[in-house]
Structure 1
Amino acid sequence: MIDVPYLAAFNLTRAFAPAMISRGAGGLVFVTSPASYLAWPNASAYIAARRALAGFAEALQSELKGTGVAVTLVVLGTVDTPYWEHNPDSRKNVPQADPRLMPTLTPKQAADAIFEARPERSSSW
């Protein structure tokens, strides 16, 4: 459960960030879920992995400030993927929230949100 959400991001960042820092340009985009900030029953491993990823991204934002490398953390709502079919009881434990705060997205909507969050599209960098 921690391998893909956190360790893959950590290892890929470790592999590619030095070159970005050297050239003074680049962007890292991390995708997480509301589980980075909310807890619910029967999801402890998922929540721990998502919190680790969010913490890593937030620390990198601080560490890489001024290097020319942008760090973006995208927090998606629920994405309607086969995950839910493979974990049939997990949906009932997800907290119910206003859909404006935690929307259910199609995979395309999620991809579009990630694309729109790219650092070069953001005016805050």
Structure 2
Amino acid sequence: MFGAGTTAVVTGGSSGIGAATAERLAGRGCDVLAVGRDTDALADIARRTGARCCAADLTSPGAADRVLAEAGEVDLLVCNAGVGWSGPLEVMPEERVGDLVRVNLLAPMLLVRAALPGMLARGRGQIVLVSSIAGSMSVAGEAVYSATKAGLDALGASVRGEVAGRGVGVTIVVPGVVDTPFFARRGSPYARRVPRPVPPERVAAALVAAAERNRSQVFVPRWLRLPARLRGVAPTVTDALQRRTT
């Protein structure tokens, strides 16, 4: 159970799922280090929850090591930070392609790589990777975002196999659409009819519960597991259904 005596690092901790997760863990008595770029929002999280804050650009060289050194012995690592972009791939600026890959995929890779030696040496620890239904369904107009989230799924599954039986668990959280500033920040509102947005607090609750039980994967809402599994066996059907909900 995550509570007093547990140290948790939450990236993307200044808003949305990250802020809700930091607040939930701090409310249980965890020593939480909320990591993000927005110093004002981080300060507000600290005032409301008592969490420690770390302003950091996770794409900068050495950032993963610096964050974990500030945290101390990490029991729970939540890799939640992410950015998006919407539009056809052929018009996506090259620098934005790089931004998404660095923030959504490379930064979690480096954080997990940096956290594992300490967790394995202590024989305990939980890693949570916040993916997206876009990684399972490969959403048109979000090619790079979908690819980074699919890569995050593969990262989690591979690391889970590497640490099996060594006291460290890996959980992949797959939210659908979440009511956060994500869409405003990417510059394009959410326009699909299905799925409908869910509050970030719902995702945070599912995330903490799944991590405590060392579940390999959890979908929020849970019904999204069905179309994700269907795509694996009938991609033509799921592609047609996605076009109808646009």
Deviation of 1:105 (Å) = 1.6
Deviation of 1:108 (Å) = 1.5
Quote the Cα distance in structure 2 between the aligned partners of 1:27 and 1:59.
15
Deviation of 1:64 (Å) = 0.8
**Does structure 2 conserve the Cα–Cα contact (< 8 Å) formed by 1:40 and 1:95?**
no
Change in CA separation of 1:124 and 1:10 when aligned onto 2, cut-off 3 Å = closer
Give the match for residue 6 of structure 1: 105
Give the match for residue 67 of structure 1: 166
Quote the Cα distance in structure 2 between the aligned partners of 1:69 and 1:123.
9
Pick from 141, 158, 166: which aligns with 1:42? 141
Deviation of 1:27 (Å) = 0.8
**Normalising to structure 2: TM-score of the pair?**
0.44
Deviation of 1:88 (Å) = 5.1
User: Are 2:194 and 1:96 equivalent residues in the alignment?
Assistant: yes
Quote the Cα distance in structure 1 between the aligned partners of 2:129 and 2:135.
12
**Does structure 1 conserve the Cα–Cα contact (< 8 Å) formed by 2:171 and 2:215?**
no
Deviation of 1:89 (Å) = 3.9
Give the match for residue 51 of structure 1: 150
Change in CA separation of 1:64 and 1:57 when aligned onto 2, cut-off 3 Å = same
**Does structure 1 conserve the Cα–Cα contact (< 8 Å) formed by 2:179 and 2:199?**
yes
Quote the Cα distance in structure 2 between the aligned partners of 1:32 and 1:42.
17
Give the aligned residue type for 2:194: Q
Give the match for residue 202 of structure 2: 109
**Does structure 1 conserve the Cα–Cα contact (< 8 Å) formed by 2:171 and 2:214?**
no
Change in CA separation of 1:122 and 1:34 when aligned onto 2, cut-off 3 Å = same
Deviation of 1:40 (Å) = 2.0
Q: Deviations over 1:74-116 (max 9, x none)?
A: 1111111112223454523x5835xxxxx52212222222111
Greater RCO structure (CA 8 Å; 6+ sep): 1
**Does structure 2 conserve the Cα–Cα contact (< 8 Å) formed by 1:61 and 1:70?**
yes
**Normalising to structure 1: TM-score of the pair?**
0.82
Pick from 132, 153, 169: which aligns with 1:33? 132
Quote the Cα distance in structure 1 between the aligned partners of 2:115 and 2:149.
21
User: Are 2:213 and 1:122 equivalent residues in the alignment?
Assistant: yes
Which segments of 5 or more consecutive residues in structure 1 lack a partner in the other structure?
98-102
Q: Percent identity, please.
A: 30
What is the count of residue pairs matched by the alignment? 117
Which segments of 5 or more consecutive residues in structure 2 lack a partner in the other structure?
1-99, 217-246
